Amino acid sequence: MSFYITTAISYVNGEPHMGHAYEVIATDVLARHMRQRGEEVFFLTGTDEHGEPVADAARAQGIEPKELADRNAERFKALMPRLEASNDFFIRTSDEQHMAKVQEVLQRVHDNGHVYKGLYEGWYCPQCADFKVENEILEDNRCPIHEIALTREQEENWFFRLSTFQEPLQRLYGENPDFVMPRNRFNEARAFVDRGLQDVSLSRGRMQWGVPVPWDPGHVFYVWFDALLNYYTALFYAREGEDLVARFWPATYHVIGKDILKFHAVYWPALLMAAELPVPRHVFVHGFLLGADGRKMSKSLGNVLDPFQVIDEYGTDALRFYLMRDVAFGGDGSVGIDAVKARYEAELANEYGNLASRTISMIVRYRQGTIPAVQTDGELAQDFDGLPDAVAGLLDRAQATQALDLIWQRVRRCNRYVEERAPWRLAPDPAAADALEQTLASLAEGIRVISVLLHPYMPASTTRLLGAIGSPAIDYAGAAFAARWSGARVHQLEPLFPKRA
Ligand code: ME8
């Protein structure tokens, strides 16, 4: 089966922040997990470069929009390897191939009769030469950039007949209760459609920074239509000579934040229907990261958690683990450096890291570094019964936090097992040699299975650990707890999560 997963594409008028990192990490966990299961995966991310905010930010800095876009797109691109993101492509909406495809698709929407010319009225800034949207203008209707009074103006615009898609969208929602997940977001989107839809502006007449409307070159497309189409256009040129559209369209999952639900759950499927293209299977909506004080993260409040700071201090795996563990995926959550530290020490260092290091040390000390080739403990095996299926079932529904919790229960189970079996008491007693060997083999198998399952969350540490126990394979078939070890060699491992000052 093919599995096509995307993140939202980031605006290049700002800097990469924790919200962006969060979305990329969560999407990467799902992509890596599906690859382990042998699915054919394509993972797309990128930058959203057209539109008023970018043009405005460039103007404020006295540079051309393209210059600003080039500079900031690089920063978003550079974020990906730092997060260990395994994206297959990075799209920029200023790519020529994207722009040409946007024109082609929207021309079809026009030719199919879903577009008409109408009058658009809004708040206009003569210095920006641009309309401002209601939620960005300052008090007394002033420009957010120039702080001058905006004027109420009208312009001729092309409109998309969104209103005619109310019934088709209601049918889509009726037939696909998982079209939008989680359920509360599905209800929100459906209620929006049920309230009735108004046509939306498809073009801007006075802007130049965008994709030109092919049938009216004085206009550019409204940035949201250009941006949404990235999910489709990327497949035409991401890999030269390969027909990715046939393999991957429609997308399996669009992962987005709750602020852009309407665009993905309403505009996007309507646009695709208008272009006679299949609609995506699922839109997964995550919540917002808030500052440790529960308020929106903002520099002026001093409650911003910077992804680069966490990576520098604790490592990429720790950031990935922390975000997936501490913020229930789908809901909002507060994040802060104290909570990162607490999870790092209590769970990564003391639970998983410690389990790995003591298991390996005991195999080295008591069996010269060879995992005994004996039967594993049936009772411990039972506690892993059904685990891979349960984790896969949750991740099929993007329940990344619950899946991680199931795995973590086994980390704790194995630590209890060490205490129960107390290998240091068995070791000196020759009559207990079998029990000791079974204990060591079972622990090695426990950390192997746990590490295979944790791999999508913490790719670097799990790879190191699996290498140290001579079992580097990460495919999902290997996530079942085996009845026997074949006698691999282990080697000592530097602490996976060293203590921090
Ligand atoms: O919305 N917590 O771009 P963007 C969690 N270009 N997620 C957050 C967040 C936070 N504090 N802040 C932002 C755009 N996000 C458009 C998308 S897609 C065709 C076009 C999420 O840079 C946000 O919800 O403002 C969105 O999913 C993503 O980061 C990019 O936000």
* pLDDT value, residue 420: 97
Closest ligand 1 atom number to CA of residue 48:
6
Mutate to test the pocket of ligand 1, among 288, 296, 304, 327 (most ligand atoms within 8 A of CB): 288
pLDDT at 115: 98
CA distance linking residue 267 with residue 343, whole number of Å: 40
Which superfamily does CATH assign the domain made up of 2-286 to?
A: HUPs (3.40.50.620)
Q: Which residues of the chain have pLDDT under 70?
A: 129
CATH number of 337-478: 1.10.730.10
Residue extent(s) of CATH 3.40.50.620 domains in the chain = 2-286
161 vs 168: CA distance, rounded Å: 13
What is the spatial distance between Cα 269 and Cα 228, in angstroms, rounded to a whole number? Answer: 10
Active site residue 414: no
Whole-prediction pTM: 0.95
Assign 187 to helix, strand or coil.
helix
Distance 322 CA to ligand 1 centre (A): 20
What is the distance in A from the centroid of ligand 1 to the CA of 290? 13
Cβ of 22 closer than 6 Å to ligand 1, yes or no, is yes
Helix, strand or coil, per DSSP, at residue 269: helix
Q: Decide: 255 in ligand 1 pocket, CB within 6 A.
A: no
Cβ atoms of 248 and 42 within 8 Å: the answer is yes
Cβ of 23 less than 6 Å from ligand 1: yes
pLDDT of residue 129: 66
* Cβ proximity of 102 and 211 under 8 Å: yes
Is residue 299 annotated as a catalytic residue, yes or no?
Answer: yes
- Identify the CA nearest to 407 among candidates 378, 444, 449, 377: 449
Do residues 269 and 261 lie in contact, with contact meaning Cβ atoms separated by under 8 Å?
no
SS3 call for 80: helix
- Ligand 1, closest atom to CA 290? 11
> Of 144, 2, 116, nearest to 60 (Cα)?
144
Q: Where are the beta strands (DSSP E) in 192-332?
A: 200-201, 203-204, 220-221, 253-257, 282-286, 289-290
Each residue's pLDDT tens digit, 117-146:
999 888 988 777 677 877 778 999 998 878
Is residue 17 flagged as an active site residue? yes
Distance in angstroms (rounded) separating the CA atoms of residues 331 and 286: 6
DSSP letter for each residue of 374-407: SBPPHHHHHHTTTHHHHHHHHHHTT-HHHHHHHH
Burial class from Cβ neighbours inside 10 Å (0-12, 13-18, 19+) for residue 377 reads buried
Å from CA of 450 to ligand 1 middle: 32
Determine whether 20 is an active site residue. Answer: yes
CA proximity to 466, closest of 491, 442, 484, 436: 491
Q: 19 CB less than 6 Å from ligand 1? A: yes
> How many angstroms is it from 27 CA to the middle of ligand 1?
13
Which residues make up the CATH 1.10.730.10 domain(s) of the chain? Answer: 337-478
Mean pLDDT of the chain: 95
Report pLDDT digits (tens) over 155-207. Answer: 899 999 999 999 999 999 999 999 999 999 999 999 999 999 999 999 988 78
Using CA positions, which residue lies closest to atom 29 of ligand 1? 20
CB 396 within 8 A of CB 402: no
